[in-house]
Structure 1
Amino acid sequence: MTDQFTPAIGLGNCHVQTVFGRVHRPVPWIETQCRWYETPDGDCLALLTPRPLVDDPDLPLVLILHGLAGSVASPYVQGMMDSLLSHRYQVAVMHFRGCGGVPNRLPRAYHSGDSEDPRWMVEQLRGELPATPIMVVGYSLGGNVLLKMLGEDGSCSPVAAAVAISSPMDLHACSRKINTGLSKLYQRHLLSCLRLTLKKKAEDPCIAAALPNVEDATFFANFRCFDDTFTAPLHGFRDADDYYTRASSKHLLREIGVPTMIINSVDDPFVCPSAIPEKKEVSSMVQLEVTLQGGHVGFVSGSLWRPNYWLEHKVPKFLDSAILRDKG
């Protein structure tokens, strides 16, 4: 266990860490342009960039994968974009299907094991930018998706380096964790966001016919109910248990073949400590950064008056080192 992160004075509580950034930086400050990609199954994916992408081996591209109900406007995404741009990286954010306020075309949406879409997006970017190193940073759900993709692809992955932050790598354990104590408040908020998204999708009669009744509140009682009712049947899983088993990334971490950093906090209100891997459970290409504090996608150091977002220094530093290793 490493603990290089020290929380800001007055911000040591895990829940304060988790919500502080959303309160401190509530308004997006980086403008982006959106480009739509037509997927092979007839759906669409949005890629958002603050600047036009160029093919340059000296300007690596970092693809950011947001968390559940997140988007390019999420404060943690905005902050990381800002930091990466200042470190001379190109940046792009992939919206998972139906995120960012625009419903996708198909009844299916996205889920914690949805590695096919980011893999496909990386392939598109590799075709457009053949000389440019492509790296990926994933948060929460996006982090688990990223780790699953890296584990599935092994040493054949086109990704040059990756960072996964606050990832729920064991979905069985994490679904239980978020259904206890104060963590239920986050569960309620996220399920409310998902319900609104589904209601918007259900305005299309063809989509509505393929969905369970989005007006039935019992389907949104907790994540297990939601996943049994919506996630599993819409995405080819037998039930929530089958989904949690097949979508978890933890059992694939030994197969990762590219430089990868996994950052998790023991006090994360979303992620059960047992879901965080030990060194023996990951490949030699994986660097574990497990802190005692930090909450969920929090990691606010400095002070209450001058907060310092630790991740926005830690991540570029790791990516820089990966580039140097590759060139060396």
Structure 2
Amino acid sequence: MQDYVAPRWLPGGHLQTIWPALWARRADAPLPDYRRERWTTPDGDFIDVDFLDAAGARPRPLLVLFHGLEGSSRSHYAEAFASFAAARGWDYAVPHFRGCSGEINLAPRAYHSGDFEEIGWILARLRAHRDTTGGGPMLAVGVSLGGNALLRWAEEAGEAAAKTVRAVASISAPLDLAAGGAAIGRGFNRLVYTRMFLATMKPKALAKLAQHPGLFDRERLLAAHDLYAFDNVFTAPLHGFRDTDDYWTRGSAKPHLHAIRIPALVVNAVNDPFVPGESLPRQGEVGDHVTLWQPAHGGHVGFAMGLPPGHVRGLPERVGAWLAGAE
């Protein structure tokens, strides 16, 4: 793949992360409103899935995007991929992880970086619907947390993944959760990004505690000032892990990339503030089905292009073209 070169006016991993998320253009034209469906989960909870339906004859591809930590269909990358799909005449879907669609979910759980069973259930339901309505192939992309979870699904599914999707891509995924957790828990990252995430994650957790009294220790949660401590109190025990170390070990996609049996593109900028470059996989650590793209610049889900304020359409175009050509 052609390498990415950051604009000269946007130096460094932090600027390349923050600016695209807040100010870069996401689409050339206003996007149509999403069509939302609410699905009941096997455990009696719900998730919300936002769709953009393309015009024209079937069959046509469906691009499914799994968002990142505290993301949604309105995240900058989700709208950029929506613009790409609309321009290509593809259908588009953004399933929201539990509690991320604007309404707290019902069950005593939320979502996590290794949530491959939830990914599998969502993709299987989408595939079944398309099989009965004459839909075309499915392609899936996951961003950050969603990218790691999507790769974990592909790893667990093995050969069977090809029955559901034709190809997958991950963008800025923390493939080694311990390395990513350590990076976001120190210095500037802790002051800015950790504080930003916890500002929404803690209130959601407290709302979950109000639904299910006694679910976890409220005081310990309030005292958590990094993701390691938050995951120890909330994420790990609610999702069947012993503690944060167990969760980060079992949830990481990096050790199992050799098990993937469908075309998979793994995109990580070396200067990503959340994902240390030294923690990224090398070609010898992955299987024949995995393509690594590790440009020197791009930040975390940034990859802005053009003159100020820049745009973020370039990454969806490159990733989407790769997915379209994957066999």
Q: CA RMSD in A?
A: 2.1
Q: Which residue of structure 2 lines up, in the alignment, with residue 212 of structure 1?
A: 217
> Aligned runs of 1:154-169 on 2, under 5 Å?
154-157=158-161, 158-169=164-175
Q: How many residues align?
A: 318
Q: Does residue 35 of structure 1 match 2:41? A: no
Question: Secondary structure at 1:177's aligned position in 2?
Answer: helix
In structure 2, distance between residues paired with 1:97 and 1:171: 20
Q: Does residue 298 of structure 1 match 2:285? A: no
Equivalent position to 1:241, from 238, 241, 245: 245
> Aligned runs of 1:260-299 on 2, under 5 Å?
260-299=264-303
Q: Which residue of structure 1 lines up, in the alignment, with residue 185 of structure 2?
A: 179
Tell me by how many angstroms 1:17 deviates: 0.8
The answer for unaligned runs of 5 or more in structure 1 is none
Residues 32-84 of structure 1, C-alpha deviations (whole Å, 9 max, x = no match) = 12111111111111111022799933x11011000000001111111111112
TM-score (structure 2 length as normaliser) = 0.91
Q: Equivalent pairs: percent with the same residue?
A: 35
Question: Secondary structure at 2:323's aligned position in 1?
Answer: helix
Tell me by how many angstroms 1:96 deviates: 0.4
> Aligned runs of 1:1-328 on 2, under 5 Å?
4-25=3-24, 29-51=31-53, 56-57=58-59, 59-130=60-131, 131-157=135-161, 158-184=164-190, 185-204=192-211, 207-213=212-218, 216-218=221-223, 220-307=224-311, 309-322=313-326, 325=327
In structure 1, distance between residues paired with 2:45 and 2:309: 45
The answer for unaligned runs of 5 or more in structure 2 is none
Residues 119-156 of structure 1, C-alpha deviations (whole Å, 9 max, x = no match) = 10111111111152111110000000011111111121
- In structure 2, do the counterparts of structure 1 residues 188 and 305 end up closer, same or farther at CA, with 3 Å as the change threshold? closer
Question: Secondary structure at 1:209's aligned position in 2?
Answer: coil
Tell me by how many angstroms 1:249 deviates: 0.5
In structure 2, distance between residues paired with 1:90 and 1:20: 28
In structure 1, distance between residues paired with 2:87 and 2:55: 16
TM-score (structure 1 length as normaliser) = 0.91
